[in-house]
A and B are shown apart, each in its own frame.
Chain A
């Protein structure tokens, strides 16, 4: 039970972690990205599609990896839309993000119906990611089974935290990226192309978030339908705020929400839970998100230039 909850938390957290890291990347570069939900939907859709066609082509166990790749590539292109709208055409960041979400939902459902004879969901995948046990470590009682017997996407997500943390705080690229979100004028003065960095950050933001959607499809759901993501992109953004725009903070936030999601599935088996309406458990992740924000809200502060269009003439 404990091991199940912990390992479930990690699996849910992985998806939120990708979404959160993506959102953080964009926001640290000064572009609000409420489109994370849309990018996760896009990732879920293209991973389901990619994996399904790879499977049909007889690639077997390789097909989930093809799905992951498809999610990444196509969502990177899609996130160019948010980058163009906010950076080149100076659209309101929030509205552009909401449009990304609406568009992602409608386009993917349209395509699912188009490609699969009016069906509301993609066919169920036969080959999903299999759990990989890390030798020795996974033999530790309870913790071993919980932490070191998980899907490849979980390990990738945790590696991504370390990698992004390293780039952010230890390289000059990270310094520039953070600078663009805090004080773009001074970065510009230093002779660095502010727009190029912002553009790159927004594009990568979508591609990383897409892996979150792909994770849900390729590990737990096994196909794509209209409620595969159901607000998890927004929870991921809450994790960004909660984690104060810091990769390790985002990790903590994602783990908290992952725990709330996991508890939903596990606690219902228990005796005392049968007297509580199931809806309470469905509400839990959203309630936890709100409560977590309530307890940390005032203290958090985003990047200084967040949501402001950069204009070189008024620096």
Chain B
């Protein structure tokens, strides 16, 4: 027992796990104060996640963008860049693949592949923009990220209205059948679950992240720049080039999110007044997962499931879904300031006394 306790204490997962637990408890307390029933709320959350084959499929569908977004943030943070511009990169990926999917005629499968690649490149270039503003002009990436998120949002409205408008609706026209990256027969089998190529792509991304940082020179360089740019520069690495390369990869992952959602899930891009926030959730995922392959994947699964399940809370227990946003923010907060978690835990001495 003592050994388990020691192992748990020394594990990297301890702080994140406790952080998740405390955040959920605080969420429950907030619900109690608000006059809601937290047990019913969490019950309907879990039910929404696992309730039926359809829900399980849709939960997995919702997890994919969160894992990708987590990796997008993680790649950048390995190089010491805090990319909160994933939302903008998602938008650029979504609108670019939409345009390829609506305006161009290509045979099936090839059309989808081309549309995804264009979306990925568009997201990547939007990421490069952040990196070059940082390396060329010394602009803090957080500020430029936010500005570029809004610029991407309005740019996408402009592009949709000019090239893929659908009269009388707040969304673009639908992509051509040939550009779809979903599995229609499989989706019918699971009562309309929106399964798409992302299910096949995601294992490669996860493995690719691991391989890149553990086995390749590029990955090694990226980590070195993140740890100490001066040392990297001194040892002959081209720091600026590495930052730009890394932000292309980070943005490309964001672009992939947008492309998959457009081509595989919705078939259109909606004209909405704010960004999706998936990029901000990616910050939570990467931080919770400690930027590691396994950690980020697991954190993506958790946050993605919470996000999807939160829709059930509104329906099942009448609790506004923002409560999950509060829980997620608190998780980041506690992981970022582990001292708070330690302060909230019972002191060791007190524990010993109890045992006696």
Q: Interface segment, B1-9, B223-231, B330-338?
A: B330-338
Please tell me if B328 contacts chain A, counting CB pairs below 8 Å: yes
Please tell me if B287 contacts chain A, counting CB pairs below 8 Å: yes
Q: Interface segment, A2-10, A83-91, A181-189?
A: A83-91
Q: Interface segment, A92-100, A123-131, A170-178?
A: A92-100
Q: A89-B339, A99-B333, A99-B336 are in contact. Are A114 and B34 (CB under 8 A)?
A: yes
Please tell me if B202 contacts chain A, counting CB pairs below 8 Å: no
Q: A91-B336, A103-B326 are in contact. Are A238 and B143 (CB under 8 A)?
A: yes
Complex interface residues of chain B between 62 and 119 (CB less than 8 A to chain A): 82, 84
Q: A95-B287, A226-B274, A279-B158 are in contact. Are A106 and B329 (CB under 8 A)?
A: yes
Compute how far the CA of A237 lies from the CA of B162 in the bound complex, rounded to whole angstroms.
33
Compute how far the CA of A98 lies from the CA of B333 in the bound complex, rounded to whole angstroms.
9
The answer on a CB contact under 8 Å between A92 and B143 is no
When distances are taken between beta carbons in the complex, the residues of chain B under 8 Å from A95 are 82, 283, 287, 332, 336
Which of A103, A113, A226 lies in contact with B333, CB distance below 8 A? A103
Chain A residue at minimum C-beta to C-beta distance from B162: A277
Compute how far the CA of A95 lies from the CA of B340 in the bound complex, rounded to whole angstroms.
15
Complex interface residues of chain B between 101 and 140 (CB less than 8 A to chain A): 133, 137-140
Q: A95-B287, A103-B330 are in contact. Are A234 and B155 (CB under 8 A)?
A: no
Which residue, A34, A90, A98, A297, has most C-beta atoms of chain B within 10 A? A98
The answer on a CB contact under 8 Å between B137 and A96 is no
Compute how far the CA of A167 lies from the CA of B30 in the bound complex, rounded to whole angstroms.
40
Chain A residue at minimum C-beta to C-beta distance from B36: A114
Q: A85-B340, A106-B326 are in contact. Are A294 and B84 (CB under 8 A)?
A: no
Q: Interface segment, A57-65, A151-159, A213-221, A282-290?
A: A282-290
Please tell me if A196 contacts chain B, counting CB pairs below 8 Å: no
Please tell me if A166 contacts chain B, counting CB pairs below 8 Å: no
Chain A residue at minimum C-beta to C-beta distance from B318: A118
The answer on a CB contact under 8 Å between B332 and A279 is no
When distances are taken between beta carbons in the complex, the residues of chain B under 8 Å from A313 are none
Which of A109, A282, A290 lies in contact with B320, CB distance below 8 A? A109
The answer on a CB contact under 8 Å between B339 and A227 is no
A31 to chain B, nearest CB (A): 14
The answer on a CB contact under 8 Å between A106 and B322 is yes
Q: Interface segment, B46-54, B144-152, B203-211, B293-301?
A: B144-152
Please tell me if A293 contacts chain B, counting CB pairs below 8 Å: yes
When distances are taken between beta carbons in the complex, the residues of chain A under 8 Å from B84 are 98
Chain B residue at minimum C-beta to C-beta distance from A293: B139
Compute how far the CA of A230 lies from the CA of B274 in the bound complex, rounded to whole angstroms.
8
When distances are taken between beta carbons in the complex, the residues of chain A under 8 Å from B216 are none
The answer on a CB contact under 8 Å between A231 and B146 is yes
The answer on a CB contact under 8 Å between A98 and B154 is no
The answer on a CB contact under 8 Å between A99 and B139 is no
Q: A95-B336, A114-B34 are in contact. Are A294 and B139 (CB under 8 A)?
A: yes
Compute how far the CA of A125 lies from the CA of B326 in the bound complex, rounded to whole angstroms.
27
A216-246 vs B: 1/0 string, CB under 8 Å? 0000000000110011001101100100000
When distances are taken between beta carbons in the complex, the residues of chain A under 8 Å from B149 are 231
B190 to chain A, nearest CB (A): 32
Please tell me if B157 contacts chain A, counting CB pairs below 8 Å: yes
Compute how far the CA of A106 lies from the CA of B340 in the bound complex, rounded to whole angstroms.
21
Please tell me if A136 contacts chain B, counting CB pairs below 8 Å: no
Compute how far the CA of A85 lies from the CA of B325 in the bound complex, rounded to whole angstroms.
19
A27 to chain B, nearest CB (A): 11
Q: A96-B336, A106-B325, A109-B320 are in contact. Are A294 and B133 (CB under 8 A)?
A: yes
B138 to chain A, nearest CB (A): 5
Could you list 21 examples of A-B contacts with CB < 8 Å? A90-B337, A94-B142, A96-B336, A98-B332, A102-B325, A103-B330, A106-B325, A106-B329, A107-B326, A110-B320, A114-B320, A234-B142, A234-B147, A277-B162, A279-B158, A280-B154, A289-B143, A290-B147, A290-B148, A293-B144, A300-B138
Q: Which B residues fall within an 8 A CB radius of A?
A: 30, 34-35, 82, 84, 133, 137-140, 142-144, 146-151, 154-155, 157-158, 161-162, 273-274, 280, 283, 287, 320, 322-323, 325-326, 328-330, 332-333, 336-340, 343
